[in-house]
Structure 1
């Protein structure tokens, strides 16, 4: 990915983390998955969900696609707890320069370095950019 596009994505992600109801952190998961590998991208999203849920220590989660509401965009998902549907993370799947980047936002708390290491260990992940 070009440095300009990478910086643009980082800056956009940073803006979305600005103070709101809860303090958020983020991670941009850069993959080698190409546009026709959308099934593999969904499988990677499930793997990231498991890692984020583990680091957030909020128990079991499920992935909500938002198909029943107009508040969600295409390729936007949330990880919610099974117990009470509490927010764990939100994700946008973006196709940039021919490969997918997965942008995750999650409640502050997890150790960013440890989380980044675990995400980078996943198959098909080129690198992870923690935000901030």
Structure 2
């Protein structure tokens, strides 16, 4: 299943659920974990805006999977135990927009500038 397939299925589900939240619990903190997160969060924000209850401090996109993938790739590349690797990730939640912040990794690691790990994060199997 591609991210486009997921979007077609999940966009209306997110829109309907967020609309219900806007009407029934407008002060709720909403965490979107529905793929593709970088597309469903803006939908949620737009629904909240249309209902006059948007608060950017109460809407979150959860992309823990990206951090897990980043930590795993770094651990494998450096021969480390993944349980001891922590590397924050910024950017979107698809393909080349996922960016591990190598300078902030613990333990400190470095890679040659030509090492293209970023593109490996997105194409993995997407679970519905």
TM-score (norm 2): 0.33
Q: Judging by fraction of residues, say which structure has more helix.
A: 2
**Larger relative CO (CA 8 A, sep 6+): 1 or 2?**
1
* Bigger radius of gyration: 2
TM-score (norm 1): 0.32
Q: Judging by fraction of residues, say which structure has more strand.
A: 1
